[in-house]
Amino acid sequence: MTTVIAKRSSKRLPKRDPNQAGFILPIIIIIGLVIGAGLIALSARSFGGLLGSIRQSQGHEAKETAETGLASIITELNRNYPYLLIENCEVTSLSGSPDCTGWRQGGNGTFAYRTSLCPQSQSPPQGILSKVEGYTTANQGRYRLVSYTFSGDQNQGGVARIKVMGQRLLTSGGITTVRATAFVDEEISILPKNCNVPVNQPSTSSGFPGLLAETVSLGNNDVFGSVNGNVLCTTCDPNQTIAQLSTQMHLLNNGIVSGNLFGGQIAMPPVPTYPADLPQVTPLDINESTTFNAGSTNNGACQVDSQGITHCKIGSINLSGNKVFTIHSAGSKGIRLYVAGNISLSGAAAILHTNAAAGPASLGIFGKDRTASANCSQQVTIGGGSTATEAFLYFPDGCVGINGGSSNPDIRGAVWARTFNGSSSSNAEIEVPDDMGSKLFTTYGSSFGLGIREFAALGVNKWQMVQVPQLP
């Protein structure tokens, strides 16, 4: 039997260096710190991204609030306050009750409308101030008007810049804080429109007042003109029915008005006066048949300006029988008479304007400016003549009337006065040409293009948004 004896291997495992045993733990700690720092950075970045997303969302909500408020304000203006679309408003403060000088009544209790209003557009102007701020759903957003600026006129319309502030609110523990603020600035078109019809749609009346006065007594007088044969009484209640206005204007059974009867305030243009830069002239009284030629000094009563317009000073006009004051304005830019006294035409007397092609607007007869006196400072009586007085008569402080009437018509043109006293005669007539409103606009300026109309805000021409950074 053979016995095998195993020999122990002569190989030995290498011995560990005791100096290397302490490096493993620091390496593990360092790796852990690096990984931890990375996780913290990633977490911070994620949290920052979350905060940024929240702020971006709140900023977007503030912008939406501003846009909602802007649309709400424009809708309110279009629906209930269209006449304010051509009035400026600059909100004095973004805290407290909103206020602006343009959209509220003045201290004298009246409101200076640039144009007379359609009967359905009579909401008191100060009522809009409660509509220029508001809150969105659940009071998370608040908007407020900052400014509204109109550029244009009451005849052609124009454009308006409206700026509205929107804020994103956060309420916690009964305390409300502003988390984001945005301002939206828009430019919109403001278009004039006739009463009771959409924009750019024709109306049965232009709204131009061929006869305008603070108080009107029509009697049996007729006012003809399919387009401009309208009567405006500026002290009459605009919300009356036609029957009520007829009674207040004393329109008798034999009186005919081709257009409409209107009541309501209107901003009258300044009455033209003799130009200060022209050589002074001596006023001339017209008591006998007299002829004036445009472009001439006419016995020292007139001067011609650089535009070719003839300006004349008249003391008074008092004609009777067959006496005629003849005015030739052909080939000129028109002639303007500034009358300091009274005008009285009786019998077959007349003021004869021969330039029919230019129309009555080329002869302007102007009186004194409005005074605070209870009575008219001028008396203007037209009538009796066999020839129509073809002119634009503007007497802000004058009592104007037709005496009897025998021409057909007695006055061809437009009459604006402090008081109009109609005749009981059914032969007294005023005829207003279809182009009278546009002729006054081009001859005397945009402030003379008066009318009864309203306005509408349509379309967005420009849009701009400003975001206000909010602190954490």
Q: Which structural domain, as residue segments, surrounds residue 420?
A: 211-450
215 or 173, which is more confident: 215
Least confident of 39-53, 71-85, 267-281: 39-53
Confidence band for 113, pLDDT divided at 50, 70 and 90: low
| Cβ within 8 Å of residue 172, ≥6 positions away | none
Amino acid at 28: I
What pLDDT is recorded for position 266?
82
Beta bridge partners of 292: 327
Report if residue 10 sits inside a domain: no
Whether the pLDDT of residue 34 is over 50: the answer is yes
Amino acid at 301: A
Alpha helices in 117-248 (DSSP H): 242-248
472 or 36, which is more confident: 36
Task: Find the mean pLDDT for residues 303-326.
Answer: 94
What pLDDT is recorded for position 108?
32
Residues 262 and 287 in one domain: yes
Residues 370 and 396 in one domain: yes
Contact yes or no for 418/376 (Cβ under 8 A): yes
* Residues making up the chain, counted from first to last: 472
Q: Which tokens sit at 205? A: 């009346």
- Identify the H or E element spanning 430: strand 429-431
Q: Which of 330, 269, 274, 270 is nearest to 305 (CA)?
A: 274
Q: Tens digit of pLDDT for each residue in 206-234?
A: 788 999 999 999 998 899 998 899 999 99
Specify which of 31-35, 255-259, 289-293 reaches the highest per-range mean pLDDT: 289-293
Residues 355 and 460 in one domain: no
Contact yes or no for 122/238 (Cβ under 8 A): yes
Strand-by-strand arrangement of the 324-328 sheet: 290-293, 324-328, 350-353
Q: Which of 290, 308, 309, 288 is nearest to 299 (CA)?
A: 290
Report if residue 217 sits inside a domain: yes
360 φψ region: left (φ > 0), alpha (ψ -120 to 50), beta (else):
alpha
Contact yes or no for 315/290 (Cβ under 8 A): no
Report if residue 205 sits inside a domain: no
27 or 259, which is more confident: 259
Whether the pLDDT of residue 323 is over 70: the answer is yes
What pLDDT is recorded for position 195?
74
Q: Tens digit of pLDDT for each residue in 339-398?
A: 999 999 988 888 999 887 788 999 999 999 999 999 999 999 987 666 778 999 999 999
Residues 254 and 361 in one domain: yes
Work out the angle at residue 420's Cα, subtended by the Cα atoms of residues 417 and 426, and round it to the nearest 5 degrees.
140
Q: Is 6 exposed, middle or buried (0-12, 13-18, 19+ CB in 10 A)?
A: exposed
Residues 361 and 241 in one domain: yes
C-alpha span between 15 and 157 (Å, rounded): 102
Residues 407 and 295 in one domain: yes
What pLDDT is recorded for position 326?
94
Contact yes or no for 309/277 (Cβ under 8 A): no
Residues 420 and 389 in one domain: yes
Bridge pairing between strands 389-402 and 310-319: unpaired
Residues 120 and 256 in one domain: no
Residues 78 and 153 in one domain: yes
Residues 299 and 168 in one domain: no
Report if residue 215 sits inside a domain: yes
**Average confidence score pLDDT of the chain:** 82
| Number of domains making up the chain | 2
DSSP-derived letter for residue 128 is G
| Cβ within 8 Å of residue 379, ≥6 positions away | 342, 343, 344, 398, 399
C-alpha span between 359 and 56 (Å, rounded): 65
Contact yes or no for 307/336 (Cβ under 8 A): no
Confidence band for 462, pLDDT divided at 50, 70 and 90: low
Bridge pairing between strands 350-353 and 211-217: unpaired
Contact yes or no for 70/192 (Cβ under 8 A): no
This prediction's pTM: 0.72
Report if residue 33 sits inside a domain: no
Contact yes or no for 362/335 (Cβ under 8 A): yes
27 or 263, which is more confident: 263
Report if residue 167 sits inside a domain: yes
Report if residue 31 sits inside a domain: no
Contact yes or no for 142/133 (Cβ under 8 A): yes
Residues 122 and 150 in one domain: yes
Whether the pLDDT of residue 239 is over 60: the answer is yes
Residues 143 and 248 in one domain: no
DSSP string of 311-377, one letter each residue: EEEEEEEEE-TT-EEEEE-TTSS-EEEEE-S-EEE-TT-EEEE--TTT-GGGEEEE-PPP-SSSS-S
Report if residue 40 sits inside a domain: no
C-alpha span between 394 and 414 (Å, rounded): 8
Whether the pLDDT of residue 408 is over 50: the answer is yes
DSSP-derived letter for residue 9 is P
The CA-based dihedral angle spanning residues 142, 143, 144, 150, taken in that order and rounded to the nearest 10 degrees? 180
